[in-house]
Amino acid sequence: MPVPELLMKPELWYRPSHLIRRVFRRLPPGNPELLLPLPWGLPLRARARENIGKQVYAFGVFELPVCETIARLVDPGDHTWDVGANIGHMTSLLAVRAGRTGMVYAFEPHPDVHPQLMANVQAWSSIPNLAPIRVQNLALSNQSGSATLFDAPDTSINCGLGSLVEHEGMTRRLSIQTQRLDDLLDPAQSIQFLKLDVEGGEISVLEGARRTLAEGRIRDLIFEDHQDGDSPTARFLAAHGYHLFHIGVQLRAPWIGSDRSTRPPLRPWDSPNRLATRDPERVMARMQPRGWNCLRRAVA
């Protein structure tokens, strides 16, 4: 393994026990369902060669920059939403960080993935001090009703590609239910942290949250953004008063920067994500210290 590549894997440097286990075990043949331990102490049931399961098996965690952002910005008692929850990897960390006085809403519309999410959530139900998790079998959008979810014909390697936006190769069509965030969120409530990963449908979700965004009732929002610099999603959030950051990976700490012309340091397996916030000073103070909070065990 080249030294530069090894140095870009804090998941292994900060968790040597996982590195040792990785050296002495091999991925089982086929694509079996495995029960994988997450760094913060919860188990995750995932397929061995599906995107999330494969990364958790190899590194112990999926999407390290996103996980670290959650670990640093979500406080006990926070009201959090996981939009595009997939099998629940990020949902589990939100529940740990928000604690028993907090709340997690997890949205997953895919009819094949939703049961996997439910199975993981039910497996965590006996673990104390987690935030209650309410799973919603629907997609957030700019209108309430029904819609078509476009997906790949084979989801055995990546079950998280389903989208309300039709992409090349997405030949499978599934009927799902949709809701507007503005219609779901109680007018007296706010969301302290929202994770948004909907494979190109981000603008639709945000359009359905115009009132909530305009009123400043979402503090922090992290979203996948494959367009460098001035993307439509970033422009939409900036127009609603949000400060935008890129997030990335360094060995000793997460990388964060607000210059849209600067590319964040990412590994080939990391997705590009950006953070929108109403409180940039809080974000900078939380994100700058060294270390990786998400790689520490938080559940006994």
Which whole number is the average pLDDT over 61-71? 98
Whether residue 216 is contained in a domain is answered as: yes
Share the mean pLDDT of the chain. Answer: 93
Residue-wise pLDDT for 132-144, tens only, equals 999 999 999 999 9
Contact 40, 153 (CB under 8 A): no
pLDDT at 17: 85
**Distance (Å, rounded) from C-alpha 72 to C-alpha 180?**
28
What pLDDT, on a 0 to 100 scale, did the predictor assign at position 260? 77
Q: Report percent pLDDT > 90 for the chain.
A: 81
Alpha-carbon gap, residue 142 to 265, rounded angstroms: 33
In 3D, which of 84, 93, 100, 161 has the Cα closest to residue 298?
A: 93
State the Cα–Cα distance between residues 27 and 20, nearest whole angstrom: 14
Q: Is residue 26 situated within a structural domain?
A: no
Per-residue confidence (pLDDT) for residue 285, from 0 to 100: 98
Q: How many domains are contained in the chain?
A: 1
3-state secondary structure of 119: helix
User: What's residue 6's pLDDT?
Assistant: 58
The stretch 52-79 carries a mean pLDDT of 96
Segment holding 146, helix H or strand E = strand 145-151
Q: What is the mean pLDDT of residues 164-180?
A: 91
Q: Average pLDDT, stretch 178-195?
A: 97
Domain at 109, CATH number: 3.40.50.150
Residue 99 lies in a domain: yes
In a domain, 300, yes or no: no
Other C-beta atoms closer than 10 Å to the C-beta of 230 total: 11
Tell whether 16 is covered by a domain. no
Structural domain includes residue 83: yes
Mean pLDDT of 101-105: 98
Tell me the average pLDDT across 209-232: 92
Structural domain harbouring 119: 63-295
Angle at 35 between CA 292 and CA 86, to 5 degrees: 70
pLDDT given for residue 1 in this prediction: 45
Let me know if residue 187 belongs to a domain: yes
In this prediction, residues 245-263 reach a mean pLDDT of 91
Average pLDDT value for residue range 66-86 = 98
Q: What is the DSSP letter of 208?
A: T
DSSP 40-106: TS-EEEEETTSHHHHHHHHHSSS-HHHHHHHHHH--TT-EEEEES-TTSHHHHHHHHHH-TTSEEEE
The whole-angstrom separation of Cα 69 and Cα 53 is 21
- Confidence grade of residue 263 (pLDDT, cut at 50, 70, 90): confident
How far CA 212 is from CA of 75, 77, 175, 181, 192, in Å, comes to 21, 20, 27, 8, 12
The closest alpha carbon to 52, from 42, 37, 41, 63, belongs to 63
Residue 229, pLDDT above cutoff 80: no
Model confidence pLDDT, tens digit, residues 143-159: 999 999 999 998 888 99
Is residue 239 domain-resident? yes
For CA atoms 178, 180, 181, 186, give the dihedral sign.
Answer: negative
| Residue 2 scores a pLDDT above 60 | no
